[in-house]
């Protein structure tokens, strides 16, 4: 999947439409609580500036459902970007229209404008040709640097490069890096290759597990989804999260792993409690879970087992926490796994953290820098691990 990047093209004097992912978390006062997504887009934006392009940045933020809603304005992102770049960054009042066109036409080499939230228009998520053409008409070159939305064929992701035509559409450095790490991990992994999957639901990860069984040496399963596997094996799971309609699927995945020589490892003990709250009274349990209790984290023996299975790994993909990591003391398992991955990375493993809660957990622990790659797209990295085709990437120009 070798695609041309912004480094491969001449953008001097050209209007460069960069689709970024500035879908940053905001507090009630509209302040950005984590600017990582803006930081990750800086290498591409700075390169476009240095090469003399006239930069037009487009992004979505939240789900305004096709209507203008100031709560989802990109104003805080534009302001933060200006601070990070140390230069003036304009915010357009909309993403299309005569006023926006005039502002874009007024750009000089190296100047930056942020378009207002593309999802203020219903045409964005519907990939309406007219809306895509209006966006495409603003620029000469298209750059996809929004990995978090590459699995969505929206107007600014797919319609714009379609309208621009071949020779004018490349990827940014962030998308290039995501494709490199996720692509190489799946196609040419160093072994042992270990996948660690957590989170609440088996249904979210069925296709991922199916796709990974023939590719990996081990799959470690934690989080709420483990209880569906337990029940499928005949254990009582009490009040634990469990998808009763997925018990057969869980059984078939266990059989598939066994027949294909993939070591699918389930927790051997759990931390259980009667109440779902921080610092709830809890105990370690193996075997059946009492009917008034629920599993909220992997237990100490499982932490030891999982750590051992991670230690000698040479490629590691992690998606989903091991327990309710937002609440003490049910964050212990997730933290231990993050630490084990960090240690394995120190010993030469390639570690890929698949966005979402896993990324939040490693950032929270200050281990983000210790991992080979922390993905910016939870949903996108999951779909990549499922082996899905990405039309928004395929349409970009090949090297």
Residues known to be catalytic: 37, 201, 356, 379
In Å, what is the CA distance from 158 to each residue of 131, 192, 205, 390? 12, 37, 26, 10
**CA separation for the pair 60, 72 (Å, rounded):** 8
Task: Kindly compute the dihedral angle of the four CA atoms of residues 306, 308, 313, 317, in this order, to the nearest 10 degrees.
Answer: 10
Which of 43, 39, 52 has its CA nearest to residue 140?
Answer: 52
Which of 293, 294, 273 has its CA nearest to residue 283?
Answer: 273
**CA separation for the pair 245, 234 (Å, rounded):** 14
Q: How many CA atoms lie within 13 A of 259 on its CB side?
A: 7
**CA separation for the pair 131, 366 (Å, rounded):** 41
**CA separation for the pair 290, 235 (Å, rounded):** 10
- Indicate the burial class of 327 (C-beta count within 10 angstroms; 0-12, 13-18, 19 or more): middle
**CA separation for the pair 193, 282 (Å, rounded):** 34
Indicate left, alpha or beta for 339 from its phi (over 0: left) and psi (-120 to 50: alpha): alpha
Q: How many CA atoms lie within 13 A of 268 on its CB side?
A: 8
Query: Which phi and psi angles does 115 have, rounded to 5°?
Result: -75, 150
User: Which residues, including other chains, have CB under 8 Å from residue 25's CB and lie 6 or more apart?
Assistant: 32, 33, 34
Beta bridge partners of 55: 16, 112
Query: Which phi and psi angles does 127 have, rounded to 5°?
Result: 50, 50
């Amino acid at each position: 999947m070798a695609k041309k990047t912004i480094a491969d093209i001449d953008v001097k004097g050209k209007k460069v439409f960069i689709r970024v992912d500035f879908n940053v978390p905001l507090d009630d006062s509209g302040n950005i609580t984590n600017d990582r997504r803006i930081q990750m887009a800086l290498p591409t934006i700075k390169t476009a500036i240095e090469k003399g392009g006239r930069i037009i940045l487009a992004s979505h933020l939240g789900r305004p459902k096709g209507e203008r809603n100031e709560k989802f304005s990109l104003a805080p992102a534009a302001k933060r970007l200006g601070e990070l770049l140390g230069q003036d960054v304009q915010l357009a009042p909309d993403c299309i229209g005569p006023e926006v066109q005039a502002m874009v036409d007024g750009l000089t080499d190296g100047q930056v404008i942020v378009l207002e939230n593309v999802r203020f228009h219903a045409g964005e998520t519907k990939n309406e040709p007219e809306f895509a053409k209006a966006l495409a008409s603003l620029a000469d070159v298209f750059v996809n640097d929004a990995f978090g939305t590459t699995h969505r064929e929206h107007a600014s992701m797919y319609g714009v490069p379609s309208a621009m035509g071949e020779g004018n559409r490349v990827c940014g450095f962030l998308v290039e890096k995501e494709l490199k790490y996720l692509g190489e991990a799946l196609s040419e992994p160093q072994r042992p290759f270990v996948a660690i999957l957590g989170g609440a639901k088996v249904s979210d990860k069925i296709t991922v597990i199916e796709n990974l069984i023939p590719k990996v040496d081990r799959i470690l399963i934690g989080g709420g989804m483990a209880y569906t596997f337990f029940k499928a094996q005949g254990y009582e799971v009490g009040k634990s999260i469990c998808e009763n309609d997925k018990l057969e699927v869980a059984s078939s995945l266990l059989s598939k792993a066994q027949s294909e020589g993939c070591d699918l490892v389930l927790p051997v003990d759990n931390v259980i409690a009667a109440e779902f709250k921080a610092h709830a009274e809890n105990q370690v349990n193996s075997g059946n879970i009492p009917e008034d209790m629920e599993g909220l984290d992997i237990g100490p023996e499982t932490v030891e087992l999982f750590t051992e299975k991670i230690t000698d790994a040479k490629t590691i993909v992690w998606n989903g926490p091991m327990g309710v990591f937002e609440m003490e003391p049910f964050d212990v398992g997730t933290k231990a796994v993050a630490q084990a991955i960090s240690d394995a990375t120190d010993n030469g493993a390639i570690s890929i953290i698949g966005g979402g809660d896993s990324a939040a957990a490693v950032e929270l622990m200050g281990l983000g820098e210790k991992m080979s790659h922390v993905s910016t797209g939870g949903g996108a990295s999951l779909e990549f691990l499922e082996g899905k085709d990405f039309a928004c990437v395929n349409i970009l120009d090949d090297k």
